[in-house]
Chain A
Amino acid sequence: MNKNFKLEREINSLSNFPNSKPYFPKLKSWLLPYAFLSPTLVVVTLFFFVPLVIVFILSFTNLDMTNFGILKWWQPANWTLDNYVKIFTNRFFPRILNNTLMYVSMTLIFFNVGMALVIALITTNINRRVGFTFRLIWLMCRLTPVVVYIMMWKALAGPAPMGVINKHILGPLGIGAGEYLLNTNPWLFIILVNGFIGASFGMIIFSSAIEAIPKDYMIASKVDGASTWQTIRYITIPMIRWPLLFVTTYQTLSLLTSFEQILLLTNGGPGLYETEVWSLTAYHRAFSSYFGNTQWGYGSAWAVILVIIGIVMAIVYLRVFKFNELIQEPKIDQL
């Protein structure tokens, strides 16, 4: 198939030689793909690359509430490394880093990849309609507006007698003293709240990937006497390596930069920096402070490091999962 295609192209190119196409149609055919790409290019440039460059420059300035509109932040004379020094000498830097690593890894392992895979495997191996319905129900977390969703969790975690968990589960079991569970177990709730949403993404990708595996493999494995676990381990998982890589990479980067649920749930508390993650620190420094001493330059520096961490992690993933091998054409097609 592949060879035929190449041959066809070569024949076509020979038949067209010497090229007799007039200039304008040739230019048109050269420009057309770029014309189609241009809206995306414009949007990505305006709303991603330009802000990224601005944030990068801001990270070297001390732009804040006191000098906004006064400081010429674009002039190199006003650029220093002070913000980066401040970050790495910050007494709470290790705690914020540790929180970020814990938040990303726990949510990723237990929910965004782990739970997503389990749900996908189960729902694709049961009655199709039931599996579909279950996945639809699980999507409700993602479909609910985040503020409403967090308010629901706050109502669940509320102190006795109002809190649903305290009143209907822990109370009857005689566990705990009816405390506000977000204060006593903030991390548990942060991981659950994020995980329930995050798992739905992987669940959809994995389910469709599993459904796309040709049934012949499954039938062949059954004929060979493979157990369900062996089928999953030696057929399903290897066949969905690409979606696994994609979901893991995408969700890692997504978790690194997500903070809205934590902001609404604990806002980094209840203790000092107890649940403060990196992206939330960037937000707090740049946009939120009781006395309005927002520091856009300092917040940008936190954000820039986050971007660098994200890029490094993406490269690590691509290496670990052997991305180059995955994008090669399947060997079966090369025969």
Chain B
Amino acid sequence: MKVSRSLLSISLIVILVMSFTAMALAQDLDIIPIKVRCRAKPPMENWRGNNFLLAENELNADLEAAGDLRRVKVEVIQDNLDWGEYITEFVLGYGAGESPDIWLTGHEYIGTQAEAGRIIALDGIIEEFPIYNLVFDTLWDCTKYKGETWGVPQDAEARPLYWNKTLLKKLGWSDGEIAALSGKIEKGEFTLYDMLETAKQAVDKGVVEPGNGFWTRPKNGPDFTPFYYAFGGETIDSATGKLVFDKTAGLKYYKFFYDAAQKYGSMGCLGLDWSSAWHPGVTSKVLFWVGGTWQWAEWAEKFLKDLGGEAYMWENFGFGLIPAAEKGGKPNSLTHPLAYLVSSQCKYPDLAVALIAKVTNYGPNTRHAIASTHLGILKGQTEYKFYKESRLLSEALYMLDYTTFLPNNPYWGTYSTITYEALAAVVSGDFTPEEAVDFVVEGLNRELGDKIIIK
């Protein structure tokens, strides 16, 4: 009886000690909230943020296995705010000490944020996650500023020239000619002015209404820069890191858009509202237009679903590179990778980078790539079973061989605003191409002073 009593007492003591130990251990777990802020067009781009929700458990399992007492709790804030407001939100949030830990944004904002000290350089942390070696080197180049790496590429895209096959047929093109067009562009046999000439024929023959021969995006943005590059323009001086405006290339660039609007029945697109006018326009009544690969998913999901979505688009739309400016010249495209940046207010950047590593893998990235028709960012991703399922991603991949980028410079926003205003003015007929160049030179000198090189 005595023995059983003492056994009972010992057992109780052991249970109590174990319970307290477990409780003590449990209390030692440090729950780290990680706030992820993404801009995403629903539903196509939701995986940008949602992948992190799936990554949370995976990282916590890794931490547990490694004996790390920290655990992450991911909070995703995701919407489709305009870029300008999205960036203002981050800057003002940072000023109030409330910036997100992980912030997804275009790589061209890195310069501004790095200079202001709002984001941290990731060198020294990313090396601990070999998965990052899978990311294409050219995409890493986009996230570099002053020799350091400030972000992890999230996706990439091409910005093709699209055309409406049905309207080309109405213009008298044969199926064979239409099918050969992307090849001719790639070889430099079909130039920008050939495109305008075709657009003019379409207007003259009543195939499209005046103004609808060729469209660009309706507002300021990256899509205009490849045209400037096509005419030999450069945007950044590699030696000094300063922005560059080339007057000779600029004149050709503005003359092209002046001619397009004033002589070739094109560019009736500036100022249009995206969803009520631009998207419905390009998907029905415009002959040539510049868009992004991600818009392919948007058109299929939002604008052409009733007509058959992607099947209808393969039937009626074609795409290729931005044509060269001269015969035999090199066509191009522009990719504008988004990148995950880590705020300098993030208390555990190693955990933030570890989380980003979890979503930078074939599974999560391909989910996003397929749903949003963005190009993959990982070496060997084209061989990944599920990536291969997407016809657009496979057919547009060659464009990365011709791709160009926006410069990482804190003053790119100012540069882009001034050069775009001049473009809008030549399109509206307010400026001649020469006046546009004068306006740009004067504006850049006034706004940027010694931070700009005018060639």
A residues within 8 Å of B by Cβ? 65-70, 86, 89, 91-92, 154, 158-159, 177, 180, 182-183, 266, 269-272, 274, 287-294
Which residues of the other chain, B, contact A287 by a CB distance below 8 angstroms?
Answer: 84-85, 88
Contact A158 B84 (CB under 8 A): no
Q: Check A270/B413 contact, CB under 8 A, given A68-B116, A292-B83.
A: no
A66 partner, pick from B83, B112, B425, beta carbons under 8 A: B112
> Does B412 count as interface, using CB distance less than 8 angstroms?
yes
Which residues of the other chain, A, contact B85 by a CB distance below 8 angstroms?
Answer: 287-288
Q: Roughly how many angstroms separate A273 CA and B439 CA in the complex, as a whole number?
A: 15
Q: Roughly how many angstroms separate A158 CA and B272 CA in the complex, as a whole number?
A: 12
Interface of B is mostly: helix
> Does B115 count as interface, using CB distance less than 8 angstroms?
yes
Q: How many residues of B contact A (CB 8 A)?
A: 45
- Identify the interface centre among A69, A271, A272, A292: most chain B CB within 10 Å of its CB: A292
B115 partner, pick from A66, A91, A159, beta carbons under 8 A: A66
Contact A65 B413 (CB under 8 A): yes
Contact B221 A272 (CB under 8 A): no
Q: Roughly how many angstroms separate A318 CA and B95 CA in the complex, as a whole number?
A: 43
Q: Roughly how many angstroms separate A267 CA and B413 CA in the complex, as a whole number?
A: 19
- Whole-angstrom distance between the Cβ of A210 and the nearest chain B Cβ: 42
Excluding A270-B271, A290-B416, A293-B413, 18 further A-B contacts by CB distance (< 8 Å) are A66-B112, A68-B91, A86-B447, A154-B273, A158-B276, A180-B277, A269-B270, A270-B270, A272-B271, A272-B427, A288-B82, A290-B82, A291-B83, A291-B84, A291-B108, A291-B416, A292-B83, A292-B112
Contact A67 B116 (CB under 8 A): yes
Which residues of the other chain, A, contact B209 by a CB distance below 8 angstroms?
Answer: 177
Which residues of the other chain, A, contact B118 by a CB distance below 8 angstroms?
Answer: 69
Can you identify 14 A-B contacts, CB atoms within 8 angstroms?
Answer: A65-B116, A66-B116, A68-B92, A69-B91, A70-B116, A272-B427, A287-B84, A288-B85, A290-B219, A291-B412, A292-B84, A292-B91, A293-B416, A294-B87
Q: Roughly how many angstroms separate A65 CA and B412 CA in the complex, as a whole number?
A: 12
- Whole-angstrom distance between the Cβ of A14 and the nearest chain B Cβ: 61
Q: Roughly how many angstroms separate A294 CA and B428 CA in the complex, as a whole number?
A: 25
Q: Roughly how many angstroms separate A293 CA and B116 CA in the complex, as a whole number?
A: 13
Interface of A is mostly: loop
> Does B295 count as interface, using CB distance less than 8 angstroms?
no
Output the nearest chain B residue to A154 by Cβ-Cβ distance. Answer: B276
B residues within 8 Å of A by Cβ? 82-88, 91-92, 94-95, 108-109, 112, 115-118, 209, 219-221, 270-273, 276-277, 280, 410-414, 416-417, 421, 424-425, 427-428, 430, 439, 446-447
Output the nearest chain A residue to B209 by Cβ-Cβ distance. Answer: A177
Which residues of the other chain, A, contact B446 by a CB distance below 8 angstroms?
Answer: 86, 89
Contact A69 B94 (CB under 8 A): yes
Which residues of the other chain, A, contact B417 by a CB distance below 8 angstroms?
Answer: 289-291, 293
Output the nearest chain B residue to A66 by Cβ-Cβ distance. Answer: B410
Output the nearest chain A residue to B115 by Cβ-Cβ distance. Answer: A66
Contact B84 A274 (CB under 8 A): no
Q: Check A180/B276 contact, CB under 8 A, given A66-B410, A287-B85, A289-B417.
A: yes
Q: Roughly how many angstroms separate A166 CA and B418 CA in the complex, as a whole number?
A: 36
Q: Roughly how many angstroms separate A291 CA and B111 CA in the complex, as a whole number?
A: 12
Output the nearest chain B residue to A186 by Cβ-Cβ distance. Answer: B271
Output the nearest chain A residue to B268 by Cβ-Cβ distance. Answer: A183
Which residues of the other chain, A, contact B273 by a CB distance below 8 angstroms?
Answer: 154, 180, 182
